[in-house]
Amino acid sequence: MDVSAAVNKRSSIRQFRPDSVSDDVLRGLLADASRAPSGGNLQPWRIYVVNGNSMNKLREFLPTQPPLDEPEYDIYPKGLSEPYRTNRFGIGEQMYATLGIEREDKAGRQRQFAHNNDFFGAPAAIFCYVDRQMGLPQWSDLGMFLQTFMLLAVEQGLATCAQEYWSVRHMAISTFLGTPENEMMFCGMSVGYADESALINTLRSERMPLEQWVRFV
């Protein structure tokens, strides 16, 4: 598979098959993803892997914890302006339309959102942390690492969904993982094999035309 094909094939998968992923495959993906660039080669990503039995344990642990933690960062800016606001609400509308969930069906939307909390059925997850001393440039390095990981996962026939959702359960996750105080969670990511028959996975998110965000000077 070439890079263009992997970029094109990757999408956020929100229903996984239960088939397991081996630790070795994950280790290989993480090692390869660490070829991602980072300013000053700091390699600021700190990754925790939950797979197999530890995923079973996490699934048992989560209901014993408070359902919501105060996130440590703003997932979106307050008072999001256009066109970002439209993009944000657009993907939600597109998702619920794909599933045939009506705008008024608050419970239906809530149910779909709640699948975040079960990793959309994935057998594995990674959590991306960063040392608290790091700033905006290093946070962008995390993104480069994560996208590299996601593309390599596609090449392996795997699928992913990055999940900032976990920032609202960061205390529960950090307790389970036993992360040190100096590390802060950015996001989680569900990893596994896509359920190709699931309606939700037919969602192809939109992108703005180039004219709206590129200017050749």
Ligand X SMILES: Cc1cc2nc3c(=O)[nH]c(=O)nc-3n(C[C@H](O)[C@H](O)[C@H](O)COP(=O)(O)O)c2cc1C
Minimum separation from the CB atom of position 16 to ligand X (A): 12
Kindly state whether residue 128 participates in binding ligand X, applying the rule CB under 6 A: no
CB 34 within 8 A of CB 145: yes
- Euclidean distance between the first and the last CA atom of the chain, given in angstroms as a whole number: 34
CB 183 within 8 A of CB 127: no
CB 157 within 8 A of CB 5: no
Kindly state whether residue 11 participates in binding ligand X, applying the rule CB under 6 A: yes
Q: What gap in Å lies between CA 103 and CA 100, rounded to an integer?
A: 9
Q: What are phi and psi of 2, to 5 degrees?
A: -90, 170
Residues 184-213 binding ligand X (CB under 6 A) are 187, 205
Q: Which residue's CB is nearer to ligand X, number 12 or number 138?
A: 12
Minimum separation from the CB atom of position 165 to ligand X (A): 3
User: Which is nearest to 191 in space by CA: 60, 25, 56?
Assistant: 25
CB 26 within 8 A of CB 126: yes
Residues 62-121 binding ligand X (CB under 6 A) are 91, 116
Minimum separation from the CB atom of position 149 to ligand X (A): 11
- Range in contact with ligand X (rule: CB under 6 A) among 15-23, 24-32, 132-140, 157-165: 157-165
Applying CB under 6 A, the site for ligand X has a residue count of 12
Q: What are phi and psi of 174, to 5 degrees?
A: -65, -35
Minimum separation from the CB atom of position 63 to ligand X (A): 19
Binding residue (CB under 6 A) for ligand X from 14, 46, 169, 170: 14
Kindly state whether residue 172 participates in binding ligand X, applying the rule CB under 6 A: no
Residues 36-65 binding ligand X (CB under 6 A) are none
Q: What are the tokens at 61?
A: 């642990």
Helix (H, G, I), strand (E, B) or coil at 209: coil
Minimum separation from the CB atom of position 189 to ligand X (A): 8
Kindly state whether residue 164 participates in binding ligand X, applying the rule CB under 6 A: yes
Helix (H, G, I), strand (E, B) or coil at 88: helix
Q: Which residue's CB is nearer to ligand X, number 163 or number 174?
A: 163
Q: Which residue's CB is nearer to ligand X, number 9 or number 57?
A: 9
Q: Three-state SS string across 11-29, please?
A: CECCCEECCCCCHHHHHHH
Interaction site with ligand X (CB under 6 A): 11-12, 14, 91, 116, 161-165, 187, 205
